[in-house]
Amino acid sequence: MRSYTLLILLLSSITSISQNCNNTLFGSVVDLHDGSNLLGAVLVIEGSEQVVVTDLDGKFKIPNLCNEKYLIQVSHAECRTIGFLVDVKGDVRKTFKLEHHLEELNQVIISGKAYRRKSETISEKTLSKEALERFSSGSLGDALNSLSGVSSLNTGNSVVKPMIHGLHSSRVVIINNGVRVEDQEWGAEHAPNIDINAIGNLTLIKGASALQYGGNAIGGLIVAEAAKVPVKDTLYGHFSSTGVSNGRGVSMTSQLTKSTQSGWFGTLQGTWKRFGDFEAPEYVLSNTGSFVRNASLQVGLNKFDYGFEAYYSIFQNKLGILRASHVGGAGDQLSALESNVPLRINDFTYDISAPKQEVTHHLARIKGFKNINNLGKLSLQYDYQRNNRLEFDIRRGSDKFDAALDLELQTHSLMLDFISPLRDEIEWKAGLMARYQNNYAANTGIRRLIPDYDKYDLGLYGIVERQLQDNWLLEAGGRFDFVHMNVFKFYRSSFWESRNYDKLFPEIVVPETKDGEFGYQILTNPKFNFYNVSATVGTTYSFGNGAKVLLNYSLASRAPNPSELFSEGLHHSASRIEIGDLRFNSEVGHKLALTFQQEGEKFRFYISPFINRINDFILIEPTEIRQTIRGNFQVWEYRQTDAELYGFDMDVMYDFSEKFCFKHQFSLVKGYDRLRDEPLISMPPANTKNEMIYQDKNFHDLRISLQSEYVFRQNEYPNNNFEVFIPQSETFREIDVSTPPDAYHLLNLNSSMTFRKHKKSFIKVELIVTNLLDKSYRNYLNRLRLYADDLGRNVLLNIKFNY
């Protein structure tokens, strides 16, 4: 009996010695993404009543733990509660990472800083999803026109090309879902191939500070972002339909999103639009209808420290070009310009005939990211775009249904980005970009406007941000881009010699010529290299009480695009002959922008003056009228000069009460050719908008607004008039293509009501009337203003169902 008792005591002693419960677990709870300490995080040991809360520095200490494994639940406000298994052997230090602001988690789907680092030293304006819905039946350019500092270069009503501070096309970079859009943007009548109904919010950056996507955004940057997706189990979507009186058309769009608590998500979206001929107040604008079909799909996984997204979209647009803009001989051209109404007016129809354009744009992207402990976030993206552009001229032979211009542009891009906080007050970002682009111009029996080419881009950038004080921030960045073009192009020997190319570029001539259908031609193989440096530096100072000053200087460099270098032929949908120049250098812009803003409870005020000096600025302007077998067309030639643009934007908002508010916008841009000492062509005239808004959130979110828009006459413009010979009268007459139209004033009405069934389910009815008084006017920036008035009154009824 004594032996058994001694054995039991010995075993109990051994057990008590091995079970050491004097260990301590200590450490901190931090935000997964920026490493910031989380105050008030709660740690609970499963099966125990012991509860620990982190202190002001996010630190914790749990004593009296044994040598065993513990399951510890960590929770924090706006964070998902996570269980961590910790193996305790002696004292242990651990850092638990939680996803802060869980409801706004969106690392893979584009949402602000998830893919784009916001500049803090230059003015940015954003259109919300609600504001974008008012333009559901319109275009990206229509929506951007509602912001100060933005105008548009129009080709009739359907082609709306955004213009920022007087600059457009290749000088304005457009980002769609994290991808830089490559869609033959060099054309004045090439509208961006983006479905506005697929955008969650739209951001305008009036400068070249976004170095991540290139240093050639001399005009600015437009960022189209997808809507945020919550990380929870949910299924939601919307359907909307808009009926349009002017054009007698319908626009329909639908979107469905599914997300899960585990991080998986998917969104399917589609849009269908069909419009017939649009109408000016007094006549039909024949052959101006459009047919648009778009769809997109995105799927992905969004975890705390890693994730990926796959995205695909297709954009198809078929639109007519005003029939009256294509005329016959010089006499017809003169008659068209001098007439108050189009020379060709037909009955309303939904048919779209030549001249017209058909564009199909495919975009595919895959992106992944990984958070690296104590270092930062690394992201890798590959995207592919294929843009096929068909332009149809008025042809009368057996080929009358064939395209006159057939361009296919394919673009492959690879981007590697890394962002990291060096210290609490310093953050930096760097990256690499490689891009390959191939353009194929199919043989259509007409001289090719743009030749076949291969284009290679390689870029490297770095940005650093330093918080000097709580109210003072400094930002600086730099970028280097290398561009190589390898081109094959035939030149007519007469044209080659008339431009003096035979003496300037004898080395690019291929010793192979032929006598083809377009006469004796010279085959050339230009190989051009461009080395561009871009930079930005800026500062932001906050005075308190909502007052802030932003100052930014940006250096932007842009290589000439293939159109500016190699154009030589008829641009059919533009109704003009375009001629480029092989001698062009890169543009170099120096822009200084200052923004002062005051944001109070009732009063908000923003004013942003700027000056932009651009060396070797490339512009295109009319030089003559030329008769061809296809009709009489203006000749527009590219040339290079030094330019200076300056002006300012102003926004004022005042809330009279909870229900009434007033908004005012004013924009002024001046542009000058400093070598010729004359105004630049196609500069936007001064314009102002005043809007009174009534909103009652307690009565079905009733909103009624009346907007007054006044566009001044452009009094500064170059004289690009020229003389033509009229065979019928055997006289020379001056063709006036320069004189701007008169100033005009428009009234626009917008009203909406929302009928809610549940918190997330509702029906919204919106009535919009543009050009309320049905006023006849012509916009200086509308390329077809020489032939017809702009759009008359348009009534839009939009019904949206959210579920």
**739-749 residue pLDDT tens:** 999 999 999 99
- Residue 319 DSSP label: E
Q: At the topology level of CATH, where does 2-100 sit?
A: Immunoglobulin-like (2.60.40)
Instruction: Report in angstroms the alpha-carbon separations of 123 from 191, 203, 479, 658.
Output: 25, 10, 21, 27
Give the pLDDT of residue 12: 44
d(CA 166, CA 612): 10
Tell whether the model's pLDDT for residue 333 goes beyond 80.
Answer: no
pLDDT band at 424 (very low <50, low <70, confident <90, very high): low
* Model confidence band, residue 339 (pLDDT cutoffs 50, 70, 90): confident
Looking at the DSSP bridge assignments, the partners of residue 173 are: 221
Identify the pLDDT of residue 8. 43
**Looking up tokens 């413009």, which residue turns up?**
717
User: Does residue 146 carry a pLDDT above 60?
Assistant: yes
Alpha carbon distance 193, 359 (integer Å): 8
157: tokens are: 């009503």
CB 61 within 8 A of CB 26: yes
Amino acid at 294: N
The domain spans of the chain are 2-100, 224-802
49-63, 96-110, 506-520: least confidently modelled range = 96-110
d(CA 549, CA 594): 7
Q: What pLDDT score was predicted for residue 513?
A: 58
Alpha-carbon span 473 to 467, nearest angstrom: 5
What's the pLDDT score for residue 104?
A: 42
How far apart CA 498 and CA 516 sit, in angstroms, is: 20
Mean pLDDT of 419-424: 76
Query: What average pLDDT does the chain have?
Result: 87
Least confident of 130-144, 263-277, 592-606: 130-144
Residue with tokens 């910790």: 86
The three-state (H, E, C) secondary structure of 680-724, written as one string: CCCCCCCEEEEEEEEEECCCCCEEEEEEEEEECCCCCCCCCCEEE
Q: At residue 606, does pLDDT exceed 80?
A: yes
Distance between CA atoms of residues 215 and 477, nearest Å: 11
Q: Please report the pLDDT score of residue 114 as a whole number.
A: 37
Q: What is the pLDDT of residues 155-207, one digit of tens each?
A: 877 788 899 999 999 999 999 988 999 988 887 778 888 989 888 888 888 86
CA–CA dist 74, 38 (Å, integer):
11
Decide: residue 694, CB within 10 A, 0-12 exposed, 13-18 middle, 19+ buried.
middle
Taking 90 as the threshold, does the pLDDT of residue 614 lie above it?
yes
pLDDT at 782: 92
Cα distance between residue 219 and residue 161, in whole Å: 13
The pLDDT, as a whole number, for residue 165 is: 94
661-716 pLDDT per residue, tens: 999 999 999 999 999 999 999 999 999 999 999 999 899 999 999 999 999 999 99
Half-sphere exposure of 238 (CA within 13 A, CB side): 23
Q: For residues 80 and 453, which has the higher predicted lDDT (pLDDT)? A: 453
pLDDT bracket for residue 279 (50, 70, 90): very high
pTM of the entire structure? 0.85
Judge whether residue 30 has pLDDT over 90: no
Cβ atoms within 10 Å of 22's Cβ, excluding its own: 11
pLDDT digits 0-9 by tens, 57-89? 788 999 888 988 888 989 887 677 888 888 888
**Does 2 have pLDDT greater than 70?**
no
pLDDT at 394: 79
**Which of 121-125, 660-664, 705-709, 730-734 comes out lowest in average pLDDT?**
121-125
Residue 414: CB atoms within 10 A of its CB come to 13
Length of the chain: 803
CB 203 within 8 A of CB 192: no
Higher pLDDT among residues 77 and 524, named by residue: 524
Query: 224-802 adopts what CATH topology?
Result: Maltoporin; Chain A (2.40.170)
Asked whether the CA dihedral 773, 776, 778, 784 is positive or negative, the reply is positive
- The answer to whether the peptide bond before residue 355 is cis (omega within 30 degrees of 0) is yes
Output the CA torsion sign for 215, 220, 226, 230.
positive
Whether 350 has a pLDDT exceeding 50, the answer reads yes
With a pLDDT cut of 90, the percent of the chain lying above it is 53
DSSP secondary-structure letter at 504?
A: H
Q: What is the CA radius of gyration of the chain?
A: 31
Specify whether the CB–CB gap between 371 and 352 falls below 8 A.
no
Phi and psi at 188, nearest 5°, equal -65, -25
Instruction: Identify whether the C-beta of residue 40 lies closer than 8 Å to the C-beta of residue 53.
Output: yes
Whether 231 contacts 259, CB under 8 Å: yes
Q: In the predicted model, is pLDDT for residue 630 greater than 80?
A: no
Return the structure tokens found at 138. 């319109």
Is residue 330 very low, low, confident or very high in pLDDT (cuts 50, 70, 90)? low
> ∠524-527-528 over CA atoms, to 5°?
130
pLDDT at site 15: 42
145 confidence band (pLDDT: 50, 70, 90)? confident
